[in-house]
Amino acid sequence: MNIIGIRIIKTAIATVIAIYIATYFQLSFPLSAGLLAILGVDVTRRRSLLNVLHRILASVLGLLLASFLFYIVGFYIWVIGVYILLAYPILSKMKLKDGIVTSSVIVFHVFSVQTIHFDVILNEIWLLLIGLGSATLINFLYMPKVELNMKTIRNQVEDLLSEIFNQMSYHLKDSSTIWQGKEIIEVEKKINEGLELAKRFSENNLFRQENEWLNYFHMRSRQMESIHKMVNLVAQVYESIPQGKMTAAVFDELVKEVKEEFYTGRVLDDLKRVETLFKEMELPKTRKEFEVRSAILQLCLELKDYLNIAKKEKKKFLSL
């Protein structure tokens, strides 16, 4: 079942629980507890907790302001307009705009009973606690596990990267090879999916700050910048030359290493050996050879940047 479907189920359960509790304690406006529960359900534990805290604080501040206006001016409909003109900008400036609707529900209750009394205020506080508390309870009891999905996406990302490097190798060996490049679009889509799941996973772990999955997908996202540059440089290799075939051998090794869970350094060592051999070879004799060798040299530099990102980050992923 997808995340949206689960959220709907949680919202339904939290709403029913809130209404039942409010009715059991004979609170006024018990259905409003269900409305508050609907507003309190969120997609992650951390976001849900912040959401509830913001709504409670905004509601209490709104209730105090509205009570003051009603006490000083009276229970007139136009006073609600004054409340909105004053409260909404204040709550937005305090970064509590998510609580504007919640606070309005509470204020309208007070207006409807036409009195400011301790019992009325207490009733609204209990509605807040029951409605938003039910939502928080349901959120904390169950959140869909996303680790299995992230592992699947990681495998898909690495398969696509492997195929991208494979195609680069083919072209360096044979410049007549044609590649559509659809894997680049697909891998970026998968990386973005992984980032979204990793962020959700992080927000569901309130006390664990380090998120290896988030680091992993950020690493792949940064590496994509180098890959885009490498693809453009490979396209400039319009003739097969020995330097291209030597570089292709490095990419052949990368096809395998990209799927390994931790950094080995083999490809970087191979690349350094190839660069050393380049320096020992004769200078290009024609303009065409110069252009192609120049593109291959820049390709090696971009590949080194790609590998250095993995060298810094991939060692952390032994536990994945």
pLDDT of residue 320: 45
Q: Are 111 and 70 in contact (CB under 8 A)?
A: yes
Instruction: Dump pLDDT digits (tens) for 88-127.
Output: 898 888 888 878 888 888 889 989 988 888 888 899 999 9
Length of the chain, in residues: 320
Instruction: Dump pLDDT digits (tens) for 172-220.
Output: 888 888 888 899 999 999 999 999 888 877 777 655 655 788 888 999 9
**Is residue 143 very low, low, confident or very high in pLDDT (cuts 50, 70, 90)?**
low
Q: Is the pLDDT of residue 315 over 60?
A: no
- Going from the C-alpha of 289 to that of each of 175, 274, 285, 297, the distances in angstroms are 13, 18, 7, 12
Instruction: Dump pLDDT digits (tens) for 45-62.
Output: 777 777 788 888 888 898
Residues with Cβ within 8 Å of residue 66, at least 6 apart in sequence: 83, 87, 107, 110, 111
Sign, Cα dihedral of 268, 172, 155, 205: positive
